[in-house]
Amino acid sequence: MNSEYALHPTAPADSSYLPGPVLLIGPPGVGKGTQAKTLMAEFGIPQISTGDLFRGHRRQRTELGLIAEKLMVLGQLVPDNLVNQMVAGRLSGADCGRGYILDGFPRTLAQAAWLDEHLAEANSCPVVAISLTADRDDLLKRITGRRICPQGHIYNVYTEPPRVEGVCDVDGCPLELRRDDTEEIFESRMKVFEAETAPVISHYHTQGRFAEVNGLHRVDTVTRDIRAQLERLRTEPSMAACAAQRA
């Protein structure tokens, strides 16, 4: 049993190591959110989410936000150049100096190419991509087997079942299945994930800035493996910009 509201303690930022920009890639249910929060706390870095950027610009009624809102109302996709402008503005923030976790960007090959060019012009560390992998059947069980009580305690009927079926061990509340934790929605989300991420993965893999980590291990094991892969990737010759920043 887990708690959905468990806090991730903030560790002191290690000044001897710069994680730089990190793109976490993974299918639905693999645990990207949990790992992102852990890395944010450990290194004192923010998460850059395109969803948060859209909402922030629309709430503040910025020029970019108004354009994006108009397009979304019309059911049109927000073009790359608009998304890129929002991302560029956010990356100029002082809190991004040590690095950041990218969430939902780059989603396309064109966005990945733009980001590489943008960071190179700023003499910043290039992005490294960590893909959290998992067997499709295991992911399906993780998602469709998930049961949650109103207080946030989480179970899985396949791997961490409650002592009494359908009842929370802690407070006796009935357990619920989320509306989107169904096989149909899982398969739909997997198709979108595979179609969108394949070219982005290929981009970073070809450039030697890509690593895979098994996302079905224990949470702390996955975190350890991600950290090890980050440190390995940041010592590659293509990471000269990061080495210069450390000097």
Question: Is residue 37 flagged as an active site residue?
Answer: no
**Candidate list 37, 58, 141, 189, residue with the active-site label:** 189
**Candidate list 55, 70, 178, 232, residue with the active-site label:** 178
Question: Is residue 90 flagged as an active site residue?
Answer: no
Question: Is residue 32 flagged as an active site residue?
Answer: yes
Question: What tokens were used for 198?
Answer: 């394949």
127, HSE (Cβ side, Cα atoms, 13 Å): 29
**Candidate list 32, 90, 142, 234, residue with the active-site label:** 32
Burial class (CB within 10 angstroms; exposed 0-12, middle 13-18, buried 19+) of 77: exposed
Question: Is residue 189 flagged as an active site residue?
Answer: yes
Helices (H), 122-218: 136-144, 183-206
**Candidate list 90, 146, 227, 234, residue with the active-site label:** 146
Helices (H), the chain: 32-43, 50-60, 63-73, 80-91, 109-121, 136-144, 183-206, 219-233, 240-246
| Residues annotated as catalytic (active site), given as ranges | 32, 107, 146, 178, 189
